[in-house]
Structure 1
């Protein structure tokens, strides 16, 4: 376990260096000039001397590698800089919006689990029955609908026509229902089909027939043996698709005007707010990397075969 953690720590260091340099480079190469955005050149009369003076004060006249070195030095000191648009520390802004984003993410995962686990399990238990057919049809239907279009339908139906739920802002858990439902339904279709396939594969294994031969009940066989054996592929895919989930959170936050860091970074892109964009990319990258690390570690506990291979190799 110590060697695994050491290797993961080195991977984290390499990953942070890689993602910070690549994101810093791509952000600087995007069209637009934050200096002109800050000075509001479209609305105010600004001289070229003022533009050059601000560019020099912000360090944009220096080579790109030197700019990156200064940013990296500040990052090592946990200083992400200040927002060009608001002047607030980037870390404070991210920490202000992160709870709302995590709240939406957790709510979406709860919706996904509440849909995917029952439908996937029932489809596997009653294979090729009408329940299985309906479940697969719903999962295909859910995968075909973009999350933003589904969100617009929910806004029109539950917010405008029926006036049951609020469609904007973050004011209690009632405002979380529509965004979480939108994102949860969008991602659940993948896991319904994946869990069904994984359960069918588990139920056909030799250890399931051996459990039946020992006289274990079907309920115990399914929930204790087959269900646990089917989890590693599902968890692996979840770790891989976590980046897509975060991208979906950004779309849903903008659609429902939900004040998380996803909506914040979209506004930052419009304003060429480099420090906030850089901080967002780094924080989200680290979160995705750590989540995948947890998935790798949990895989070793859920898959007994991996434990046996590690013991044989040690």
Structure 2
């Protein structure tokens, strides 16, 4: 297992290099930088000499490769730079925004589990019944609505028509967490309950379930002790994918609800061409996906001893 973990962590190095280089290149291809964006947003016309001086101060007058190598060297020394927009340390700013994203991630995952797992099991157990049809219908509706549309619908219903929540989040109190959590949980639950249903149906069709039934073992016992345990791998994989994407910050949802997390931070940085902040977000995204997938593989292989550690082959 130790060699497997080391190998997976070493794979993070070329992934980080490739992703950071591509993101750095795409921001430069956009055709403007933080200095130009700052004066454009303010609507101020300044002399070209002033713009050139500020660009030189930030190092934006250097060639693209030079800027990237300087940034990469600073990163290897533990320095993620200073924000072009605020002048604050990038790492400190990022860490200030991370707790909000962690809170939104935890609440969304918990609600998703509470909704998708029971409904997926109910749809599988009552296959082709009215219960199954209703659950699948709402799952289809949830899958058909993008997050930004669902967020606007929830805002209109529960902040405008029925003023239970405020339109904009102040970031204080659990009441401001409800709508962004509901937006993410509805979308994820609609997708994942179908996967849970399919996994449970696959297990229910196997011979051991029929054998248990023929021996008079109650189906509820077989469901709890055998079917759900065998379906654990699918559920675990789905949760890992959700946690990875949510920890990266759901930029659209955070921006709509003004939730002050890393997703909104990344959107603001992209608008302002804040290269150090964008690169910090890219490094975080790549790191969290590799780590979450690695932890998922470890838990999955511990839960299922039949899976070996070498290349994931069965022994």
- Report the TM-score, using the length of structure 1 for normalisation: 0.91
CA distance, structure 2, for counterparts of residue 180 and residue 27 of structure 1: 31
Kept in 2: contact 1:104–1:176 (CA 8 A): yes
Kept in 1: contact 2:139–2:193 (CA 8 A): yes
Deviations 1:81-108 (A, max 9, x none): 1111110111111111111111112111
Question: What is residue 160 of structure 2 aligned with on the other side?
Answer: 160
Unaligned runs of 5+ in 1: none
Question: What is residue 81 of structure 2 aligned with on the other side?
Answer: 81
C-alpha displacement of 1:171: 1.5
CA distance, structure 2, for counterparts of residue 122 and residue 150 of structure 1: 25
CA distance, structure 2, for counterparts of residue 239 and residue 69 of structure 1: 33
> Within 5 Å, which residues of 2 pair with 1:229-308?
229-240=230-241, 245=246, 249-307=250-308
CA distance, structure 2, for counterparts of residue 46 and residue 274 of structure 1: 22
CA distance, structure 2, for counterparts of residue 128 and residue 271 of structure 1: 52
CA distance, structure 2, for counterparts of residue 94 and residue 304 of structure 1: 39
Question: What is residue 131 of structure 1 aligned with on the other side?
Answer: 131
Kept in 1: contact 2:138–2:190 (CA 8 A): yes
Runs of 4+ displaced beyond 6 Å: 308-314
CA distance, structure 2, for counterparts of residue 247 and residue 308 of structure 1: 28
Kept in 2: contact 1:37–1:272 (CA 8 A): yes
CA distance, structure 1, for counterparts of residue 173 and residue 220 of structure 2: 39
- Secondary structure of the residue aligned to 2:166 is coil
Deviates more, 1:1-10 or 1:60-69: 60-69
User: Are 1:221 and 2:222 counterparts?
Assistant: yes
Kept in 2: contact 1:101–1:260 (CA 8 A): yes
Deviates more, 1:49-58 or 1:245-254: 245-254
Q: CA RMSD in A?
A: 2.5
- Secondary structure of the residue aligned to 1:267 is helix
Change (3 A) 1:146 1:41: closer
Question: What is residue 48 of structure 1 aligned with on the other side?
Answer: 48
Unaligned runs of 5+ in 2: none
- Report the TM-score, using the length of structure 2 for normalisation: 0.90
Deviations 1:136-189 (A, max 9, x none): 111111111222222222212211222112332211111101110111001111
CA distance, structure 2, for counterparts of residue 306 and residue 176 of structure 1: 39
C-alpha displacement of 1:2: 1.3
Change (3 A) 1:312 1:159: closer
C-alpha displacement of 1:213: 5.2
Q: Which has the higher contact order (CA 8 A, sep 6+)?
A: 2
